[in-house]
Chain A
Amino acid sequence: MIYMKDVMIRPERCLSCRSCEIACAVAHSESKNLFSAVGEKPAPKKRICLEYVPDLGVSLPITCRHCKDAPCVSVCPTKALHQDENASIVSYDQNRCVDCWNCSKVCSRFSTLYQLILVMGCWSSSMNYNRGLINRQAEAGIKCDLCEGRDMPACVEACPTHALIFTEANEV
């Protein structure tokens, strides 16, 4: 298996400051500058969202790359997750979801959070928050592109507590 560098979430370090969100929006703005981006029309859109996970009682930065040949889509037994092949956009149908969590197990980006959820033992529909984000992005036609042209994704650079890191999945 070939490992690629990706944004990894270390949920226990997140302090909910939303720095990643703003840095992401600025990195996807016209000017790439905070003070100019504030006035841009249309407003730049973030690809990472701080989502509150009730069963964990914390908020976490959640982001989806809508990977090509997305593994979450390929393992979904009910086709609740599906992918528009042309746009490579993953979307999610809650009505088909049976909460099997297979998608979370195979998502490299989500694996650390998945481990935490396992430890916490809170099997519930927490993952809906992740999927909600996936759907919102699908509708907006945006996804995490790992900040093309930058050495380090803006969200990772902005995180003051290193809750987000940029590394290979097997190194976490």
Chain B
Amino acid sequence: MKPEIYEKSIDLASQKILKKAEEEGIETAWDRYEKQLPQCSFGQLGVCCRNCNMGPCRIDPFGEGAQKGICGATADIIVARNLLRTIAAGAAAHSDHARDAVLTFKKMSEGEAGSYRIKDEAKLLSLASEYGIVSEGKSPKEVASRLADTLLQEFGKQDGHLLCTRRVPESRLKLWAELGIEPRGIDREIVECMHRTHIGVDNDAVHILLQGLRTGLSDGWGGSMIATDVQDILFGIPQPRRSTVNLGVLSKDKVNVIVHGHEPILSEMIVEAAEDPELLKLAEEMGAAGINVAGICCTGNETLMRHGTPIAGNFLQQELAVITGAIEAMVVDVQCVMPSLGELTGCYHTKFISTSPKADFPNTIRMEFHEGRAYETAKEIVRTAVENFPNRVLEKVTIPEEKQECMVGFSAEAILSALGGSPDPLIEAIKGGAVWGIGAVVGCNNVKVTHNYGHVNLVKELIKNNVLVVTTGCNAIACAEAGLLLPEASELAGDGLKAVCRALGIPPVLHMGSCVDISRILVLSSVLANYLGVDISDLPAAGAAPEWMSEKAVSIGTYVVSSGVFTVLGTIPAVLGSQAVTSLLTGGLNSVVGASFAVEPDPLKAAELMLEHIDAKRKALGLDSQR
């Protein structure tokens, strides 16, 4: 049975474009999902192994058929191995993004990437001092060069620990060391995952999962954190600012350029090129009123946070943006870019431009991005978009009117500064119960959940119960579209949180950035824990990923839990084929790292699980625990 449009998305703009898609006979992810149903049960349970060519093997979850793979691997082993590979892929995606950011930073410092510069010298110097680099008597570029070398070593490191991990509370670091999960070199952990899951290597579910925790940590306190730090130096630490989101940000009379993917290295240049007088003049000649850059996914979040560049949508809105018929160029880099865009852009005048040396898609125009001539390439890309403006077919254009104002840019630094420079006011608010706890809500969209339904309802329920929410990624965009990223949204919050938001002039939901910027949440939680003299796992805080789907999300979940934060997943991970792995993840981990996962598709019930967890943590800290 075909689902109704309101079952696909709760967002009005998206519903309008989904209707347009139906009328025009255009296929979207929701249609393809229908064609995939019912999905393979072995895959859903995680009991299919393709790691050697004796297989594929699968385990009968009901006990009548095969209970072992050909090598003898049980469901427990197969599920654990598959999970480890998923974590490795997620950590690889974040960390390889980080590597490119550091390489750009390095080239910049050596004068080989003229389009980039040091935007935030204070962060450069503070990072340099954290990494033990003497900056006195050196030029900023010299310091940057030394810092870049040190950061690059974090990837291939053979001895010692990742330097960012020194930001965690002592007690947690000690716990990791005791468990043997203190992350080593970033690349090393990922390579070791692939080695361990090769046939005949690591075949104990618990032993395999411990490597999963270590690999996740190498992402959160390694790759992702390095990406955030370096991007802040290059492009500035985000500060609170206002912007607009949703498909309605597309312009009916300007050239619309979408930047989609995950890296600001590209989008920063596009945003700059869109203001180039030469290109603005060309736009005018082409009959356009200007050039409008809008983001999708985390490339969008990066420019939103730093420039207030509007966002057209989150993951499931990428196809919808094209279907408006108003996009001159869909410019993509890496991660979460649907290959379907190739065929889809062919139905409209939209140019599909791929820019990463790592990522190509069907029917793209290749305009590879290299640091050396980044701005020139960005100009060529924008020019291509501008020249495409006259090809827009007006009869095919529908831009929904829905757009929503939002307040963004809450880096850890910005939050501390909003608090007056010290976490003290927030701690006091938590102690007094005005802020009941902190909820970190992140993650993707997933066609298995009505678009934005999980995100918006979970977050609303949390703020209603005075939980201050920090958000990144596609959740942040969903919250923005629902109007939750405005100080006025504190009307929806409980009385305590409402008063705090009013006093500080902040929204009850704080947009902290892209998905690598979950590292900002880690840093903030460390600051709070250290200030209180407790471990992160003692904080009245909980995490959630209501609509997660990517491998990156699995790595994120792993490092968040390994850092001590209870996390609720809204879609079911492919582990239920193993009782041992399932019970470890949802319970056993508590006695190992002081936090575990829960799975709860209903966002209101998920919020309740988070609240119960926060209640318990408040009680343990001797705070009022009766809501």
Is A135 part of the binding interface, using a Cβ–Cβ cutoff of 8 Å?
A: no
Contact check, A18 vs B58: say whether CB atoms are below 8 A apart. yes
Contact check, A34 vs B64: say whether CB atoms are below 8 A apart. no
Q: How near does chain A come to B78, taking the closest CB pair, in angstroms?
A: 14
Closest to B599 in A: A35
Hey, what's the 0/1 contact readout for A22-35 against B, CB within 8 Å counting as 1? 11011000000011
Give the number of A-B contacts (CB < 8 Å). Answer: 47
* Complex: A38 Cα to B578 Cα, angstroms: 9
Is A57 part of the binding interface, using a Cβ–Cβ cutoff of 8 Å?
A: no
Closest to A39 in B: B579
Q: Which residues from 7 to 41 on chain A have a C-beta closer than 8 Å to any C-beta of chain B?
A: 17-19, 21-23, 25-26, 34-35, 37-39
Hey, what's the 0/1 contact readout for B34-74 against A, CB within 8 Å counting as 1? 00001011101100000000000010111111000000000
Q: Which residues from 141 to 167 on chain A have a C-beta closer than 8 Å to any C-beta of chain B?
A: 157-158, 160
Cβ 8 A contact of A45, one of B44, B61, B62, B572: B62
Contact status of A44 and B62, CB under 8 A, knowing A35-B576, A38-B45: yes
Is A66 part of the binding interface, using a Cβ–Cβ cutoff of 8 Å?
A: no
Closest to A25 in B: B62
Is B238 part of the binding interface, using a Cβ–Cβ cutoff of 8 Å?
A: no
Hey, what's the 0/1 contact readout for B557-584 against A, CB within 8 Å counting as 1? 0000000000000001000110100000
Q: How near does chain A come to B127, taking the closest CB pair, in angstroms?
A: 45
Q: Inside 8 A of A26's CB, which chain B residues have their CB?
A: 41
* Complex: A44 Cα to B62 Cα, angstroms: 7
Contact check, B40 vs A19: say whether CB atoms are below 8 A apart. yes
Is A87 part of the binding interface, using a Cβ–Cβ cutoff of 8 Å?
A: no
Q: How near does chain B come to A40, taking the closest CB pair, in angstroms?
A: 9
Q: Inside 8 A of B63's CB, which chain A residues have their CB?
A: 43
Cβ 8 A contact of A158, one of B38, B58, B572: B38
Contact check, B64 vs A19: say whether CB atoms are below 8 A apart. no
Closest to A154 in B: B38
Q: How near does chain A come to B37, taking the closest CB pair, in angstroms?
A: 8
Contact status of A22 and B64, CB under 8 A, knowing A38-B576, A39-B579: no
Is A46 part of the binding interface, using a Cβ–Cβ cutoff of 8 Å?
A: yes
Cβ 8 A contact of A38, one of B40, B61, B64: B61
Q: How near does chain A come to B279, taking the closest CB pair, in angstroms?
A: 49
* Complex: A113 Cα to B572 Cα, angstroms: 38
Contact check, A23 vs B41: say whether CB atoms are below 8 A apart. yes
Closest to B61 in A: A38
Q: How near does chain B come to A59, taking the closest CB pair, in angstroms?
A: 12
Q: How near does chain A come to B244, taking the closest CB pair, in angstroms?
A: 40
Contact check, A38 vs B577: say whether CB atoms are below 8 A apart. yes
Q: Inside 8 A of A23's CB, which chain B residues have their CB?
A: 38, 41
Q: Inside 8 A of B60's CB, which chain A residues have their CB?
A: 18, 21-22
Q: Inside 8 A of A21's CB, which chain B residues have their CB?
A: 60, 65
Contact check, B62 vs A18: say whether CB atoms are below 8 A apart. no
Contact check, A22 vs B579: say whether CB atoms are below 8 A apart. no
Q: Inside 8 A of B65's CB, which chain A residues have their CB?
A: 18, 21
Q: How near does chain B come to A110, taking the closest CB pair, in angstroms?
A: 22
* Complex: A35 Cα to B572 Cα, angstroms: 9
Residues of A within 8 A of B (CB): 17-19, 21-23, 25-26, 34-35, 37-39, 43-46, 157-158, 160
Give 25 A-B contacts (CB < 8 Å), ordered by A residue. Answer: A17-B40, A18-B58, A18-B60, A19-B40, A19-B42, A22-B42, A22-B61, A23-B38, A25-B62, A26-B41, A34-B44, A34-B45, A35-B44, A37-B62, A38-B45, A38-B61, A38-B576, A39-B579, A43-B62, A44-B62, A45-B62, A45-B64, A46-B64, A157-B38, A158-B41
* 7 interchain residue pairs of minimum CB distance: A22-B41, A43-B62, A25-B62, A38-B61, A43-B63, A35-B576, A158-B38
Not counting A23-B38, A23-B41, a sample of 12 additional A-B residue pairs whose C-beta atoms are within 8 angstroms of each other reads A18-B42, A19-B41, A19-B42, A22-B42, A22-B62, A34-B41, A38-B61, A43-B63, A43-B64, A44-B62, A45-B64, A46-B62
